[in-house]
A and B are shown apart, each in its own frame.
Chain A
C-alpha cells in the first residue's frame, strides 16, 4: 500500500481545482440506443428525460441502424466475440482483411491498416515512418490525437497558422534541408466545422516535395459528392499520401480507426506502429457492422444527401433567428457565445427545453471563443430540427443574444 493520505489529498486538491475552475467534466448517462431521440439520466440519479440529441458524431444516423445491428448479430455468431491476440500473432480474421480492402477502395488509396481507434492510428503513424532527420509541419488547430502522435515521434515539429497557405509555404521553404517533410491537417476541423484547403495543400506539397497527412475523422462517409471525404470535396482523391480516419463517428460510430494511403507507409505501420503491434485490433462483431455500413454507403448517397439538406436547413434557421455561427458547410455548426459561463448556462437551459447540446470553452477552444457546438445527423427529421430551433430561439431570447453583434454579447457577458 503506497497511497497515503498525503497522496490522496494531492489528487483531491487537483480535482477540486478543476471543479472550481469550471473545467470538471461530467458524463450524462444515456439509457437508449444512440439516435436523434434519446433518454438521458442527468444529473446522476435523476429520472429519465427524453431529449433531442444535437451533439453526437452520428452524422449518417447509422449508429443504431437495423441492418447494421442485424449484421453485427450474425458476425457475433460466425466469428465470435474476441480474438485474444494482437494482429500478427493470431488476431487477424478474414473479415479484418476484407475491411482493409473495402476501406482502400472507399477512400481511393493504395492500402489500409486497421487500428483499435483513430487515436491509436494517430499515435502510431508518425513514429513508424519518420526520424529525427525529418520535419512535421502541422496546422495549429489539428486534433489532440495528432499532437500526441507527433510528440511520440523524434522528428522536428513546427506549425502553420490555421488554414493559412502563405504561412505553410514559408514553412515548407524553411525546411527544405530536412530529409522528409510531412504536412499534417484535419480534413474537417472538429471545433469550427471548416475544411482544410486540400487542393492548395496538395499543390504546395508537390511543389516543395512534402507528404500530406489528413485526419478525416469528421468527414469520412459524408463529405464529398459520394461521401468519400474531404479529398473528394476538393478533387484530390489519390493525391493524399496518408489518410487517418475513425469508425467511431459516421461509419457506424462504434470503435476503431485506420491509416490508409501509400502502400509502403501502410506496410511500415504494420512493421512498426506500436498501437498496432501491442494491442488487439477491432473486435469481429464491430468489423462485421462496419462492413455493412460501407455496403449501405456504397449502394446509395441518400443519407449524406439528407445530412446535407438538414445541415442547410439548420444553418439557415439559426442565422435567420439571429445567432452568430462559424461559417462553413459541414454538419458541425458552432453557435458562438464567446463567454464560457454563458455557454454553460445556455446548454443547461437548452437541456431544460429538451435539447441536448454541449457548451465548449477554453482550453478546448481558444479563450473568448466559447460556443455551443451543434452537430447535425441524417437521423434528424425536420420536426427534430424545428423543435430544436424553437428551443434555441426561446433560450436565445432569455439571454438576450439574438441579432446582437459579437461586441454586444461580449459587453453584456464578458469574454
Chain B
C-alpha cells in the first residue's frame, strides 16, 4: 500500500490531465479546483475497486471524498483494512 498515493496520482494525471496542465500534488483540490469533472471520477472508482478488490459504496464515493489524492487514499485504506 506504500505506493497507493503514487498510483492514484499517476492515474489522475494519465486519465484526466492534458499534456500542458499544471502539475498536481497529493493535496491539489481535484473536483472543487475544477481540474476533474465529478462525473469523470467514476472511472477512478472502478479502477481502484478492481485493483484493490474492494467495493466503495456510492454514498461514500462523494465529490468531497474524491477531492484530492490524499483524501482518495484515505478512502481506499478504510475499505482495504475492513
Contacts and interface: CB of A to CB of B under 8 A. Distances in A.
Interface string A149-171: 01000001111000000000001
Nearest to A136: B39
A159 B34 contact: no
Interface in B12-43: 34, 37, 39-40, 42-43
3 interchain residue pairs of minimum CB distance? A158-B42, A159-B40, A157-B39
B12 to A, nearest CB: 13
A140 interface: yes
A158 B43 contact: yes
**Secondary structure type dominating chain A contacts:** mixed
Interface residues of A, number: 11
11 contacts: A140-B37, A147-B39, A150-B39, A156-B42, A157-B39, A157-B42, A158-B39, A158-B42, A159-B40, A174-B46, A363-B34
A131 interface: no
A367 interface: yes
B37 A171 contact: no
Given A158-B40, A159-B43, A363-B34, 10 more contacts: A140-B37, A140-B40, A150-B39, A156-B42, A157-B39, A158-B42, A159-B40, A171-B43, A174-B43, A174-B46
Contacts of A140: 37, 40
Interface string B37-75: 101101100100000000000000000000000000000
Nearest to A157: B39
Interface residues on B, range: under 10
A36 B40 CA distance: 40
Contacts of B34: 363, 367
A76 B34 CA distance: 48
A159 B46 contact: no
B59 to A, nearest CB: 14
Interface in A389-405: none
Nearest to B58: A156
Contacts of B43: 158-159, 171, 174
Nearest to B46: A174
Contacts of B46: 174
A65 to B, nearest CB: 40
Contacts of A367: 34
Interface in A151-204: 156-159, 171, 174
A174 B46 CA distance: 9
A157 B41 CA distance: 9
A363 B34 CA distance: 9
Contacts of A363: 34
A361 to B, nearest CB: 14
B64 to A, nearest CB: 18
A159 B40 CA distance: 6
Contacts of B40: 140, 158-159
Contacts of B39: 147, 150, 157-159
Nearest to B40: A159
Nearest to A156: B42
A147 B38 CA distance: 12
Nearest to A366: B18
B41 to A, nearest CB: 9
Contacts of A159: 37, 39-40, 43
A250 B69 CA distance: 45
B82 to A, nearest CB: 24
A156 B43 CA distance: 10
Nearest to A368: B20
A160 to B, nearest CB: 9
B62 to A, nearest CB: 15
Nearest to B35: A367
A147 B39 CA distance: 10
Contacts of B42: 156-158
A150 B46 CA distance: 19
A363 B40 CA distance: 17
A267 to B, nearest CB: 29
A158 B46 CA distance: 10
A390 B18 CA distance: 35
Interface in A104-145: 140
Nearest to A150: B39
Nearest to B50: A174
Contacts of B37: 140, 159
